[in-house]
Amino acid sequence: MRIASILENQKIEKRIAITPEIAKKYISLGFEVSLSKNYGNHLGIKDEEYKALSVSILNDDKEIINNADIIVQLGLPDDDKSSLLKQNQTLIGVLNPYDNKDKIYNLVKKKINTFSLELLPRITRAQSMDILSSQANLAGYKAVVESFANFEKAIPMMMTAAGTIPAAKVLVVGAGVAGLQAIATAKRMGAIVFATDVRMASKEQVESLGGKFLTVEGADNLETEGGYAKEASDDFKMKQEELLSETLKKIDIVICTALIPGKKAPVIIKEEMINDMKSGSIIYDLAAIQGGNTAQTKVDEIIDINGVKIMGESNILNKLPTSASNLYAKNLSNFVLNLYDKENKKININLEDEIIEKTLIK
């Protein structure tokens, strides 16, 4: 079996799908591994490091794709690269099937086995493959670090002979994986942390990390069977707005993480709420790429509204590409091994396996 990966568009994506550690793992299992020239150069991984493991480094992406049985990527390859894929090959990545519906349909029509890892079911057996959790963990951490770097006051309380500096107050909107890591990071750095989420199951997790959970009445039924947040009713949204409006007046830094799979991000922080915030406050919007949780978020721009800075990036993980690649490559290899029939040395698409059935785009 031949497994391959080509370099992503560096302007969009700096993560890689096969690290030297994972290449060694594939080779030990009998895979042949092929990569683009300079595949990990931008992360300080030289081609020689891969070659020492018996990885083939090729100049021509067309040759890499043509000879591969399995292609592993971060996102969907560009149209010219996708057009090279042929029947019975397997493509695995974070393919964003909601936005790339037509492109992926064309691959499925060509009988290319197309797996999108953001569709993984939330079951215990899939945890080692859960790219959303591993990457969101890092995103939550980095959002706090970026916010604190732009905040022009100290974060922890400091008692000095000249007086006391109060601790910064942080609000985390959405207590999923990214939100919980944001709470933990902000708390470790000395902030006073509050959090809100439509899922009441989050309350215990927030409090276990030292955060204060802001409860909105009626939140206990806003969770899907898969553990995701679902869209709130108009009545709930009104109650949430009232709670947020009052809370935001006292908050220094807001980390927004609320997403609904396959839909535009809910606008939670309205313009009038931003206008009531203290000058010098920061909002970091991790939902920016899906429209944002604030009324004013713009991707890859810092917006200043009366002294309140609103930040949101298209890919915050490009600021942590080495750590993110290490975790992503491990998640991906666990998924590949679940697909791989070691005895017969071939891909086994067993639709009775919930992991395979849910991630295969049909």
Q: Does 94 lie in the same domain as 176?
A: no
> Among the options 122, 276, 323, 353, which is catalytic?
122
- DSSP H or E run through 135: helix 131-150
Sheet holding 253-256, edge to edge: 212-213, 192-196, 169-173, 253-256, 282-285, 308-312, 301-305
Whether 10 is catalytic: no
Strands 346-347 and 340-341: antiparallel
User: Would residue 193 count as lying in a domain?
Assistant: yes
Q: Does 72 lie in the same domain as 41?
A: yes
**Total domain count for the chain?**
2
356 CA to centre of own chain: 21
Q: Does 148 lie in the same domain as 95?
A: no
User: Would residue 128 count as lying in a domain?
Assistant: no
Q: Does 298 lie in the same domain as 203?
A: yes
The pLDDT value recorded for residue 198 is 81
CATH number of the CATH domain containing 68: 3.40.50.720
**Considering the entire predicted model, what is its pTM?**
0.90
User: Would residue 33 count as lying in a domain?
Assistant: yes
Q: Does 87 lie in the same domain as 228?
A: no
Q: Does 278 lie in the same domain as 338?
A: no
User: Would residue 124 count as lying in a domain?
Assistant: no
Whether 228 is catalytic: yes
User: Residue 99 carries which side chain, given as an amino acid letter?
Assistant: D
Of the candidates 197, 182, 189, which has an alpha carbon nearest to the alpha carbon of residue 244? 197
Whether 279 is catalytic: no
> Among the options 54, 127, 233, 279, which is catalytic?
127
> Among the options 47, 56, 128, 228, which is catalytic?
228
User: Would residue 127 count as lying in a domain?
Assistant: no
The pLDDT value recorded for residue 48 is 97
| Contact yes or no for 39/100 (Cβ under 8 A) | no
Q: Does 165 lie in the same domain as 70?
A: no
The pLDDT value recorded for residue 200 is 81
Q: Does 186 lie in the same domain as 328?
A: no
Q: Does 218 lie in the same domain as 305?
A: yes
Q: How far is CA 151 from CA 25, 102, 159, 275, 278, in A?
A: 43, 42, 19, 18, 12
Q: Does 306 lie in the same domain as 329?
A: no
> Among the options 133, 202, 290, 296, which is catalytic?
133
Q: Does 174 lie in the same domain as 114?
A: no
Q: Does 336 lie in the same domain as 310?
A: no
User: Would residue 125 count as lying in a domain?
Assistant: no
Q: Which domain holds residue 240?
A: 133-318
> Among the options 130, 197, 252, 285, which is catalytic?
130
Q: Could you list the pLDDT tens digit for every one of the 362 residues in the chain?
A: 999 999 999 899 999 999 999 999 999 999 999 999 999 999 999 999 999 999 999 999 999 999 999 999 999 999 999 999 999 999 999 999 888 999 999 999 999 999 999 999 989 999 999 999 999 999 999 999 999 999 999 999 999 999 999 999 999 999 999 999 999 999 999 999 999 988 888 899 999 999 999 987 655 555 555 555 556 667 777 887 889 999 999 999 999 999 887 788 999 999 999 999 999 999 999 999 999 999 899 999 999 999 999 999 999 999 999 999 999 999 999 999 999 988 888 889 999 999 999 999 98
